[in-house]
Amino acid sequence: MAECIFCQIVEGAIPTKKIYEDEQVIAFDDINPQARVHILVIPKLHVVSLDDTEDTHAALLGKLMVVCAKMARERGLAESGYRVVTNIGREAGQTVLHLHLHVLGGRSFTWPPG
């Protein structure tokens, strides 16, 4: 997906300071943070959104959640709490059409969001 900014990050065409990487997942700080800690966790595989996943993606989805928790612990958010969010579709606020999870913490959040 040449036009996908996250695919370009995965391929190394757009440099980013990765804070986590394995064979399936990359994590990096959001360039427009909405909290003191705002990390993006993305699969290397191009999937548009959660709505485009199938049973074959179950292990990958689990891996994404495990990495979110790991990043939160490493940034000291486990005790105070944090939020993991994925937006699905434009009306929900998805601006990059590549599945990604936001790990947000370091401030108080309200409910309901948005």
CB 99 within 8 A of CB 47: yes
CB 102 within 8 A of CB 86: yes
Clarify whether 100 is annotated catalytic: yes
Residue in 38, 46, 98, 100 annotated catalytic: 100
- In sequence order, the 6+-apart residues with CB closer than 8 A to the CB of 2 are 8
Catalytic residues: 100
